[in-house]
Structure 1
Amino acid sequence: MTDTFGEVRVTLHRGGDDLLSAGLGLRGLSGVPARFVSPAAPTPEELRRRAIQSSWRGIADLGPLGGFGSIYGDVPDVPGREFTTFARLPGARHPHRVLVQVPDAFDRQRRCLVVSASSGSRGIYGSIALAGGWGLPRGCAVVYTDKGTGAGYFDPADNTGVALDGTRTNAGRDELEFEPKGLSSDAGIAAKHAHSGDNPEADWGRHVLQAVRFGLAMLDRAFPDEAPFTPQNTRIIATGISNGGGAVLRAAGDDAEGLLSAVVALEPNIHVEGHGRAFYDYATEAAVLLPAALAAPAFDGVPFARTGIASPPAWALRGAALRAHGKLEGSTPQAQAADALALLRASGWRDEALKVAASSTWLDLWRSVSVAYASAYLRREAGHMPCGFSYEVQRVAGVATPADAILRAAWWADGSGVPPHAGINLAGGTDLSLDPTLPGCLCLRELWTGQGDDARKLREGLAATAAALPREGLPILVVHGTDDGLIPVSFSSEPYVAWLRAHDRSPVFWKVPHAQHFDAFLAFPDFGDRHAPLLPFGYAALDRAWAHLVEGRALPEDALVRDTRPRGPGPVTAKTLALPPG
C-alpha cells in the first residue's frame, strides 16, 4: 500500500515535559486542568499538556481509591521525542492524525512498538492511559491514531480549524486536521467523525495499520544506525479501549501484511455481520426506551437513574409520550416503565448492563453519540445532519464574548470529538412538547428500523464497519466488564469471540465481574462502591501478551474472573481485583 504522510513535526520532551504526563506526574494528571498563561492563545506546549491530562482523566481512575500507581500502572518521567503528522488513506477526503512517542530509553535489544487508536471519538492522545501507560515505561515506542475522529473542529463562521501543533488557525495558512470545503458560514461547527464524508469507522482497521507503518518509519528516523525496523525484527502489539478496542480488532482482520504480533482489546465496540448487535442499533433503542424504563423497581437506588428534581420527572414524561406514539401499552407510569423494560430485555439487554446504562441516559450520551454516527454513516456534512441536528456555538443571548475565544482555544485539548461540550451545543431534533428530545430520538431510531432511502444508506454505511476474520495464530486477548452499560458484552465481545471460535481461532476472553465502561466514573462514590475497574485487567492482559511474545509463555486461559469484587467504599486492593494468574 502506498502511504501518504504530510509534514512531520518533531518535538523534544525532556526536563519537566516528558512523553507520558507532560511533566504533570500522577498528582498533576488528577489535579485541576493545566493552565494556559494566555487563555485565549495557548501555546502548542500548553495545549499538548492539557490534551494529555484530559485524555488520562477521561479513561483512568487516578484518585486515591482507584489503585493506579499502587496496585497497577505508574507515571514515571519518560523523556523522549514525538513525531506527528497527518496521514491520508487512499481515497479518503480528510486525514487522520498519527503520532509516535519514542522514549530515550527505547529498548533496542527487545524492539517493541505499541499501536493504539483513540477511545470514543477522542483526539490523538485518547489512548495514552492504556498504550502509553503500559508501553513507554518498559521501553516501547508507542504510535497513536485518532482514526478519523478527534476535536480538530472547523468553524466556517470564521474559517478556522486546528493545525498540526494543536493551535487554531485560519484555513489556507497551514494544513488543518479537518478542513471541509464549501460550507456556508452558518453551517455550525464541523466535527471530523460526523462530517468528514469518509465514514471513518469503515476504515478504523486501515487507520491502525497505516499508523504502524508510520511508527516503523519514524523508528528508522530516530535510530538510523539500527534501521530498518520491520515486523520481522520489532514486536508490534495493538491495543485499545472501546472504539479503540474495536479499531485494533478491525486491524487484526485487515492485516494482510502480517504487521501485528498480538492484539489486546478492552471493552471493544466491535460488529460482526449477523452476530450480536451494532452499536447504532442498541444506542438508538436505549435513547428511546431507557428513559421510560427508569421508573421500574429494577432501578430503585441505582446511581444516576433518577437524578434531577424536574416535576413531572423525565421518565414519566417519556413513558406517556411513547404511549401516545403507540410504542407502549401501559396507562400508568409504572405500567409504561414495565413495558419499556420488557422491550429492552426482550432485545437482549441484561439487567446488570441496564442499571449502568442509566448513567449514559443521565448524561444524554445515547442521543448525542447516535447523532454523530448517523451523520457519519450517511456521509453528511455540517449544515445537513440527519433529523435536523447541528452543532452550534453556545452564546449568551446570541452575543459573542471574550469567553468564547477562551473556550474555542481549548477545544482541541478538552473536546471529546462528539459535542455537546464546553462552548458547543447539540441543536435541533427537538420540539416544544414536555419531552422535547423524543422527536430526534425517534427519527434516529427510524433510520435503523425504517425503509426509506436514508435508512437504506445508513445500514449500508454501518455494514461497511463489520470486522473481518484475523489470520490464524494471531494472539488476540479480549477484556470486557460484565456490567458494561455502554458497549454491553452480550452485544459485542461475546458474539465476536464466539464467531472467532466458530472459525477455528483461539482468542483469550476475560470477563470481569462488576466492571463497567468508564473507569473515570468510579470517582463518584456511590458508583465506585458498586463496581471494579477494568483498566488493571488491560495492563495484565498486555503483560501476558508480552510474556508470550518475548518469553514464549503460553497464553493465559479464558476467565470469568470469579473472585473480583466491587471496590466498596475503600481503596481498591489486589485482593478485590483478583487479577487472573499469569
Structure 2
Amino acid sequence: MLSACASHGTRKESAMREVDDSQVRVTEHRSHDDLLSAGLGLAGLAGLPTAFIDPLQPTAEELRRRAIQTSWKGIADLGPLGGYGSVYGGVPDVPGREYQAFARIPGARSPHRVLLQLPDNFDRHKRCLVVTASSGSRGIYGAIALAGAWGLPHGCAVAYTDKGTGAGYFDYADDSGVALDGRRAKRGEAELEFQPPPAARTAGIAIKHVHSGDNPEGDWGRHVIQAAQFGLAMLDRAFPAEAPFTPQNTKIIATGISNGGGAVLQAAGLDQEHFFAGVVALEPNVHVQDRGRALYDYATEAAIWLPCALSAEDFAAVPLARGPRGVTLPAWPIRCASLRAQGKLGGNTVMAQAEQARQYLRARGWTDEAMQTAASTTAFDLWRVIAAGYASAYLRRGATDMPCGFHYAAIGAGGLPGVADPVARASWWADGAGIPPGNGIGLFGGVSVSADPTLIGSECLRALWTGDGHEAQALHASVAATAAKLPRSDLPLWVLHGASDGLLPTAFTSEPYVAWLRDEGRRPIYWKVPHAQHFDAFLALPGFGEQHVPLLPYGYAALDRLWAHLYEGAAWPDDLPTPAARPRGNGALTRSTLGLP
C-alpha cells in the first residue's frame, strides 16, 4: 500500500486512503514536546546534546528530541552572532501530530522513511502541503530547519522523506538495526529501517545510503513525490470529512537543501501534470546530462588535487587552510610531493607545486572562491569520505565488498576496527549524519603504508570515473540515472545557491541547470548569493562566519514570495535581482548585511 502511491502522482483523489494502523506510527506532540523543536526552543536547540535517562536504552521520545536537535544544528547557524530568531527565522511552539512509516519505491530492495508533521493550526481553508527531502545523507528530520521552520508556522502540513539515506546503521557485531521508533532492534525482532543480507559478525557496519543496493539517488525524485502522496493520505486520515486531499485542492510546495534540493529538482522533472504548485531549491546537488559536472567527478578530483592546491600562497589567510600560526597543514605539502613524484607537477618548492595544482583546478572549472571554502571540506577529509560512500552506492555494493578496499567499522582501541560502544550505538539514529565517519564509526581501508597514505584509495576512486572498465561503465550508468529531467513550462521554480559554495560549486551544479532550463524556454528565478557558502552550521566557527552570510534566510524569502503568489494573488516574477549581501564581519548578523528587500 505504501509503495502504490509512487506511480499515481496526479490521480484525482489521494492515494493510500486506507493504511493499516500497524504500518503507520502516529504520535502526539504537545505540552513541551512540539513538532518544530521537540520542546527545546531556540536556546535548547543551540545547546548541548539532550540527555538520555538511560543512555543504553533511550526512549523513542528522547531519540526523536535529539534527532531534531542534531538536524537543526547540522543545517542552521544557531550561534550567538548568526541572527537566527532575531534577524530571520524563528522557532515557535508548534503543537501537532506526526505520522511516520516505512515505504518502498517499487523495485527497491530497502525501505525508507516517510513522515508527515501535521500542526494543530493546519489551515483547512488554505490547504498547503510542503514536501521535502533530507539534506546530505541525513535522516528523516534532515530538512526541518528549512521546510519545517517555514511551513509549520504558515499552517502547512510538512511531508518528509529520507530518500533512502539516514542513520539507520546496521551493526553486524550484534545483528541489530533501527526500528521505526528510532530504537535499536535485532534482525527478526521488528521491521528495520535497513536490514542488509546476513554476514559474519566481523563484517562491520552497513550504511543504508551506501549499501542498500538501490542507487537511491537515481530515485530521489520519486521519493519526493511518494512523500507528498503519503502526506495527502495522512491528511485524509486526519480530516476524513474533508477528504480527499489532492493536488487539485491542496497546494504542494516542494523545497529542499543540498541533496534535498537536488531531490526536489528531480521531482520537478517528473511532474508534467501540475502535481507541484511551486519548487524552491537551495544549493542543489543537481546533475544535468552533458552539462556541468557530476558530484562524483569533482569530488574524486578534489580529494587528490585540493590538498596541494590549498598550500598556495593565495590561500594563506583562508580559514582551515592553515594550522596554528599560519603553518600549512602537514599532509598537504606531502600531497604536492606525491603529485610531483608522479610527474603531474613540476617545480622544486611547495609553493610552486601548489600554484600549479591551483591552476590545474582552475582550468577544470574551479574558482578561487570555491577552492577557498572547500578548505573546510578538505581539512575534514570529506572528499574521500563522500567518494568512497557514493562509489559503493553507485556500484550497488554491500558492506563487505565496497570498491577500492574501503569498509566501515566501529572504532576500537588505537583507532583500529573494533566493537561499537553500546552507548554510542544506542544513539546512532539520533546522532548520525548518514555517512560516517562519526559517532564512533570509522572509514577504513583504501590506504597504504607511506607518507601519503590516503592517496592510493583516492586514486582508485578517481579511476572509477576516468577509466573505461566494466566497473567504471556501471558507475557512469548510475550517475546518468541521477540526471534531472525538464520541468513543465509553467512551474514556478526558484534556485538559490551560495556564490562561495565549495562543496557543490555553482559552476558544476546550479548554473548549468539554470542555463539548460532557460535554453529550453523555462523561466526559473536564480539567486547566486554573494558570500554564502554550503554549510550555514560552519558559520559559528571562529574566523569563518565573519567572511560569509547564511543561505537559509534567502530560502525563507523565496518561499514567502511563492506563498504570496499562491495564496495572495501576487504575480510570479520573471526574475529578481540577487540580493547584494555583504560579509557578516566581526559583529552580529544584521538585516542590512543580508541585502534582502
Task: Say if 1:544 and 1:556, in contact at 8 Å, map to a contact too.
Answer: no
Amino acid paired to 1:370: A
Q: What SS does structure 1 have at the residue aligned with 2:201?
A: coil
Q: Give the alignment of 1:43-62 within 5 angstroms.
A: 43-62=59-78
Give the equivalent residue in structure 2 for 1:417: 434
Q: Give the alignment of 1:164-183 within 5 angstroms.
A: 164-183=180-199
Give the equivalent residue in structure 2 for 1:233: 249
Give the equivalent residue in structure 1 for 2:291: 275
Matched, 1:463 2:480: yes
Give the equivalent residue in structure 1 for 2:526: 509
Of 410, 417, 421, the match for 1:404? 421
Deviations 1:457-480 (A, max 9, x none): 111111111000111101100011
Q: Which piece of structure 1 moves more, 415-424 or 120-129? A: 415-424
Matched, 1:563 2:580: yes
Q: What SS does structure 2 have at the residue aligned with 1:3?
A: helix
Q: Give the alignment of 1:80-159 within 5 angstroms.
A: 80-159=96-175
Give the equivalent residue in structure 1 for 2:382: 365
Instruction: Note the C-alpha offset of 1:560.
Output: 5.3
Q: What SS does structure 1 have at the residue aligned with 2:398?
A: coil
Q: Which piece of structure 1 moves more, 328-337 or 28-37? A: 328-337
Distance 1:560 1:481, change over 3 A: farther
Give the equivalent residue in structure 1 for 2:40: 24
For residues 305 and 540 of structure 1, what CA distance do their matches in structure 2 show?
33
Q: What SS does structure 2 have at the residue aligned with 1:488?
A: coil
Q: What SS does structure 1 have at the residue aligned with 2:153?
A: helix
Give the equivalent residue in structure 1 for 2:5: 3
Q: What SS does structure 2 have at the residue aligned with 1:101?
A: strand
Give the equivalent residue in structure 2 for 1:318: 335
For residues 193 and 201 of structure 1, what CA distance do their matches in structure 2 show?
9
Q: Which piece of structure 1 moves more, 174-183 or 3-12? A: 3-12
Distance 1:399 1:237, change over 3 A: closer
Task: Say if 1:114 and 1:237, in contact at 8 Å, map to a contact too.
Answer: yes
For residues 130 and 400 of structure 1, what CA distance do their matches in structure 2 show?
37
Task: Say if 2:411 and 2:417, in contact at 8 Å, map to a contact too.
Answer: no
Amino acid paired to 1:74: G
Q: Which piece of structure 1 moves more, 325-334 or 347-356? A: 325-334
Q: Which piece of structure 1 moves more, 105-114 or 447-456? A: 447-456
Instruction: Note the C-alpha offset of 1:553.
Output: 1.2
For residues 301 and 520 of structure 1, what CA distance do their matches in structure 2 show?
21
Matched, 1:476 2:493: yes
Matched, 1:219 2:235: yes
Instruction: Note the C-alpha offset of 1:558.
Output: 3.5
Task: Say if 1:289 and 1:340, in contact at 8 Å, map to a contact too.
Answer: yes
Q: What SS does structure 2 have at the residue aligned with 1:11?
A: strand
Q: Give the alignment of 1:284-433 within 5 angstroms.
A: 284-307=300-323, 313-396=330-413, 404-433=421-450
TM-score (norm 2): 0.95
Instruction: Note the C-alpha offset of 1:2.
Output: 2.2
Amino acid paired to 2:296: Y
For residues 156 and 113 of structure 1, what CA distance do their matches in structure 2 show?
39
Amino acid paired to 1:533: P
Deviations 1:319-340 (A, max 9, x none): 0011122222233211210111
Q: What SS does structure 2 have at the residue aligned with 1:144?
A: strand
**Alignment gaps of 5+ in structure 2:** 7-18
Give the equivalent residue in structure 1 for 2:205: 189
Q: Give the alignment of 1:484-495 within 5 angstroms.
A: 484-495=501-512
Instruction: Note the C-alpha offset of 1:74.
Output: 0.9
For residues 550 and 579 of structure 2, what CA distance do their matches in structure 1 show?
15
Instruction: Note the C-alpha offset of 1:396.
Output: 1.8
Q: What SS does structure 2 have at the residue aligned with 1:511?
A: strand
Amino acid paired to 1:276: G
For residues 298 and 453 of structure 1, what CA distance do their matches in structure 2 show?
41
Give the equivalent residue in structure 2 for 1:12: 28
For residues 417 and 340 of structure 2, what CA distance do their matches in structure 1 show?
40
Task: Say if 1:100 and 1:215, in contact at 8 Å, map to a contact too.
Answer: yes
Q: Which piece of structure 1 moves more, 437-446 or 545-554? A: 545-554
Amino acid paired to 1:105: N
For residues 329 and 45 of structure 2, what CA distance do their matches in structure 1 show?
40
Task: Say if 2:323 and 2:329, in contact at 8 Å, map to a contact too.
Answer: no
Instruction: Note the C-alpha offset of 1:71.
Output: 1.4
TM-score (norm 1): 0.97
Give the equivalent residue in structure 2 for 1:259: 275
Task: Say if 1:510 and 1:558, in contact at 8 Å, map to a contact too.
Answer: no
Distance 1:75 1:449, change over 3 A: same
Instruction: Note the C-alpha offset of 1:298.
Output: 1.3
Q: Which piece of structure 1 moves more, 473-482 or 547-556? A: 547-556
Amino acid paired to 1:235: K
Amino acid paired to 1:161: G
Matched, 1:37 2:58: no
Task: Say if 1:3 and 1:88, in contact at 8 Å, map to a contact too.
Answer: no
For residues 526 and 373 of structure 1, what CA distance do their matches in structure 2 show?
31
Instruction: Note the C-alpha offset of 1:256.
Output: 4.1
Distance 1:129 1:433, change over 3 A: same
Matched, 1:539 2:556: yes
Hey, which bits of structure 1, 4+ residues long, moved more than 6 A?
Answer: 308-312, 398-401
For residues 3 and 161 of structure 1, what CA distance do their matches in structure 2 show?
26
Distance 1:210 1:537, change over 3 A: same
For residues 98 and 330 of structure 1, what CA distance do their matches in structure 2 show?
54
Amino acid paired to 1:282: Y
For residues 159 and 226 of structure 1, what CA distance do their matches in structure 2 show?
45
Q: What SS does structure 2 have at the residue aligned with 1:306?
A: coil
For residues 324 and 430 of structure 2, what CA distance do their matches in structure 1 show?
30
Instruction: Note the C-alpha offset of 1:155.
Output: 1.1
Instruction: Note the C-alpha offset of 1:551.
Output: 1.6
Instruction: Note the C-alpha offset of 1:157.
Output: 1.9
Distance 1:452 1:557, change over 3 A: same
For residues 493 and 559 of structure 1, what CA distance do their matches in structure 2 show?
16
**Corresponding pairs, count:** 579
**Alignment gaps of 5+ in structure 1:** none
